[in-house]
Amino acid sequence: MVTRTISASALGLALLAAVPISAAAQQPAAQAYGAPAVSYTEMADLLIGSPLVLDATIASAVRIKGAEAANVPPGFMRFYIEADVTALIRGPGAIPPRVGYVLDARVGPDGRAPKYRKARVILFARPVPGDATQIQLTGPDSQQAWSPELDSLTRRISRELVAPDAPPVVTGIGNAFHVTGSLPGEGETQVFLTTQDNRPVSLSILRRPGEQPRWAVALSEIVDDAAGPPQRDTLLWYRLACGLPRALPARSTQALEPADAEIAQADYRFVLQQLGPCVRGPAAY
């Protein structure tokens, strides 16, 4: 750790831009001892909420004490960090070669202050109005220890988010329909989703006697017979697994006969089961 003087103006801006301490108390920030690997879901959450993503190396870390750290909870320390930017992974434009920010970090396992100097990190942040050299971390886990796997995942999701064909944000369920086939156990269910930008998204579930149900997602008005489920840990999977409600709302099936509405609900539950849970927790990357 480097001991040095922080200018009052820089510290003032950084403290104003600090992540609220209540959030830090609920979920500790990533530490120099090595942050746990994160799931695709957590990384997508961070990227969507962070207009600025930096690959950086910490140049100095000064502990903040006294009145400026009065609201730090037990077991945490507050630091003013300066980091040299290696690469701009995501952002609206140019970034200064060195940035400063405030970090509330959990005390190390031995009760000592964590050592940050020369640590390579990925920062998820937003710019601070009025000072391009200061950034604000967007959450308590917005400083992540760099690793090749984390760097690769961060860049992949960043590309997915800005791709011309990026799937829309799912906001809810529209109407659902079920058509019974000519054979017992045969039928097709269609579920139309609502999206943030009103782009069409629909789910189709096809059942045939003696076969495993098949389902697909369509991102246009036309349902492609060759379409299938989204690959796990992709942006489309994330939009569905984390955006869909746990059951079809009653209004979505109100035009159906009770038996058809029950089948539509079962088919929708099948889709949720196939997608798997929207897990926000450590994953093995």
Q: In this structure, what is the dihedral angle of CA atoms 152, 153, 154, 156, given to the nearest 10 degrees?
A: 80
Least Cα distance to 115 among 211, 2, 222, 247 occurs for 2
Least Cα distance to 121 among 171, 79, 160, 162 occurs for 79
Per-residue pLDDT, 209: 93
Per-residue pLDDT, 156: 98
Per-residue pLDDT, 24: 35
Per-residue pLDDT, 108: 82
Residues 38/143, Cβ–Cβ less than 8 Å: no
Tally Cβ neighbours within 10 Å of residue 211. Answer: 10
pTM of the full structure:
0.84
Per-residue pLDDT, 59: 98
Residues 207/188, Cβ–Cβ less than 8 Å: yes
Least Cα distance to 242 among 80, 42, 100, 57 occurs for 42
pLDDT in tens, 108-154: 888 888 889 999 999 999 999 999 999 999 998 999 999 999 999 99
Per-residue pLDDT, 15: 63
- Which of the residues in the chain have pLDDT under 70? 1-37, 223-226, 281-285
